[in-house]
Chains A and B, each alone.
Chain A
Amino acid sequence: MSKVNKIDTISFDSYLKKNRTKIDESLVSLRFMKEVDYFLDYNKITQRKLADDIGCTEAYISQLMSGVKKINTSFINKLEKHYEVKVEFKILPKKECNYITSFANTFIQININIDDSFEALNMFSSKNSPIEYYELDTDSYTIETNG
């Protein structure tokens, strides 16, 4: 049996504060690279093969995956052209709230509140982190209003 050590949170926090903007930029890049990771996984393409296909080094792909280097449009363009895919960008409001409004035997009704025009009635709330439990693809849902 062993104990769990506590990390030195002071230096971690101070590093974060000092480099917040750069880290946030890396996170934007990583959001895209996660999609690339899924794409590679689904199509059983290795990072080595991706590098060869789009004409860059494996080290560069590795740096993109680790967030050390950030994506650029040249990378996206090469990816689209070689694999004949289209990368889509969307600008969505950040404060999007999903409310589960009622439960039934066969379905769960969810109000996707995008512009605060819905009035949340009989709202069920959860303390759980929504990101972990409800990954909603808002494109595949149609919003219905009750008159």
Chain B
Amino acid sequence: MKKFNQINRDEKTVKKFVIVIEAVKVNVANKSQWNWESKCDLGEIYAIKVDNHRFYTLVCKNLGYRELYISRYGRKQTNSNDKKLIATINSISKITIQKLLE
């Protein structure tokens, strides 16, 4: 949540983030915005790319709909943080999805 607040402070990053989500909804996102990273038993893992921010998102298919769970945060890949990002992505497979009735 802390990183969302950071994005929220800047109108430009909010705009970029919203455009990625809307582009994913209508299937027009490109790899510069929404990149396939990995897959696990829960589903596919994609990265929402907003400047240096990376929001690793679990995509589950449910009754033909795609459900997006933004699960982990990372920084843009560099030579020095490569291993850390792999560990971050791998940790998504250990997530428990809780669905609560309102």
- Interface residues in chain A, defined as those with a beta carbon under 8 Å from any beta carbon in chain B: 1-5, 7-8, 11-12, 15-16, 19, 23, 26-27, 30-31, 33-34, 36-37, 41, 47, 62, 65-68, 126-129, 131-133
Contacts and interface: CB of A to CB of B under 8 A. Distances in A.
A131 to B, nearest CB: 5
Contact of B33 (A7, A66, A129): A66
A93 to B, nearest CB: 17
A34 B69 contact: no
B88 to A, nearest CB: 12
A132 B95 CA distance: 25
A3 B69 CA distance: 11
B81 interface: no
A127 B18 contact: no
Interface residues of B, number: 34
Interface of B: 1, 4, 8, 12, 14-16, 18-23, 26-33, 61, 63-66, 69-71, 94-98
B66 A132 contact: yes
Contacts of B32: 37, 47, 62, 65-66
Nearest to B72: A2
A15 B18 contact: yes
B18 A19 contact: yes
B28 A4 contact: no
29 contacts: A2-B94, A4-B97, A7-B70, A8-B4, A11-B8, A12-B18, A15-B14, A16-B18, A16-B22, A23-B18, A26-B22, A27-B22, A27-B23, A27-B26, A30-B28, A33-B30, A34-B28, A34-B30, A37-B30, A47-B32, A65-B30, A66-B20, A67-B20, A68-B12, A127-B63, A127-B64, A129-B66, A132-B66, A133-B64
